[in-house]
Each structure stands twice: as structure tokens, then as C-alpha cells.
């Protein structure tokens, strides 16, 4: 398990509450996020209507449902399945660094949503950089490959007594 990074945790909280347009509340990172309410509000701000019902209070089971609703909405928003934390990672504090990584993933995915113009979190994603080549450019490259291969004519691995040689004298 990765160690916790307090600076990243603070950066995540600052981002979440900047998106929500609220002041960062006092308290521990995991306590602020634990009941899933803040996460549901966040995903609803990014993708309105993602979480229809947010349990503001209730049993542990009801509060864990907030986290599960957030996770489903984050997946739908585009966060890859493998980057979404498990409910117990947050609710039972099993893997808080995974929660942080998952929120960074969400921040990264906002960049793929042109409708999102709010604060950003983490490094900017690389843009797709497609190149188009003409047939002529592709053929010129083939000629270079053949030329390079020509220099090795006659050279082979035959008779080489390296590692693969199983004959014993």
C-alpha cells in the first residue's frame, strides 16, 4: 500500500471544495470524505443529476451507499474501473492513498469533458497527436529498412556457442 501524502490530500480537498464553491471544512481528510456526501455533491457538480439521492445522515450502511453511488457515477463519468477505490478503502480507512489516487483520476478525467470549465487537479493530460503520412513517405521509410537489413547479410546466429547451445562436448 502506498504511503499517505498529506500534500496531495490537501490538494484534493482544495480542488473538491473549489469545484463545490465552498470553504474547505476543518477536520481530517478521511473524516471529511468518509460518509460520501461530499463525493456525491462533487460528482453532481461535474455531471449534474449523477447521484439522485444523497443520504445526509443515517446508518453506516446508508452512508456507504453514498460512496457506492459516487463510484458508479465516477465510472459513468469516465474514471477507469481500476482507478476507483473500494468502499472499505474510505469508509473503513483501509487504503486512503487509493482514495486520493482515485480523486486525482477524476480530476484528470474532467479534462476530457469540454463542458467542464472549473478548477483543475493534477497534471494536464496529453492531447491526442495523430499524424498522417502519404504513401510516398511510408515507402521511403521501407527503403531505409531494407538498406539497414542489407548490412547484416550473411550474419546469423548459426554456430554461435552462446546460452542456447545445448550440445556438450
Q: Are 36 and 69 in contact (CB under 8 A)?
A: yes
Distance of alpha carbon 93 from alpha carbon 90, whole angstroms: 5
Distance of alpha carbon 77 from alpha carbon 19, whole angstroms: 16
pLDDT at position 17: 97
Q: Give me the residue spans of the domains in the chain.
A: 27-111
Displacement of CA 20 from its chain's centroid (Å): 21
At 77, the pLDDT band (50, 70, 90 cuts) reads: very high
pLDDT at 149 over 80: no
Select from 100, 132, 86, 83 the least CA-distant residue to 3. 100
Residue pLDDT, tens place only, 20-63: 999 999 999 999 999 999 999 999 999 999 999 999 999 999 99
Query: Is CATH 1.10.418.10 correct for 27-111?
Result: yes
Residue pLDDT, tens place only, 82-108: 999 999 999 999 999 999 999 999 999
Amino acid at each position: 500500500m502506498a504511503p499517505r501524502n498529506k500534500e496531495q490530500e490537501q490538494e484534493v480537498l482544495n480542488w473538491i471544495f473549489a469545484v463545490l464553491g465552498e470553504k474547505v471544512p476543518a477536520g481530517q481528510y478521511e473524516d471529511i470524505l468518509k460518509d460520501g456526501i461530499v463525493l456525491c455533491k462533487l460528482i453532481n457538480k461535474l455531471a449534474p443529476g449523477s447521484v439522485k439521492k444523497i443520504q445526509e445522515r443515517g446508518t453506516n450502511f446508508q452512508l456507504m451507499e453514498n460512496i457506492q453511488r459516487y463510484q458508479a457515477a465516477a465510472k459513468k463519468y469516465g474514471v477507469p474501473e481500476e482507478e476507483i477505490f473500494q468502499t472499505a478503502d474510505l469508509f473503513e480507512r483501509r487504503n486512503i492513498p487509493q482514495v486520493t489516487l482515485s480523486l486525482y483520476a477524476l480530476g484528470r478525467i474532467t479534462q476530457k469533458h469540454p463542458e467542464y470549465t472549473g478548477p483543475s487537479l493534477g497534471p494536464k493530460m496529453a492531447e491526442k497527436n495523430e499524424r498522417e503520412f502519404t504513401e510516398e513517405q511510408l515507402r521511403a521509410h521501407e527503403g531505409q529498412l531494407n538498406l539497414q537489413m542489407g548490412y547484416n547479410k550473411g550474419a546469423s546466429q548459426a554456430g554461435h556457442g552462446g546460452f542456447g547451445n545445448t550440445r556438450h562436448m
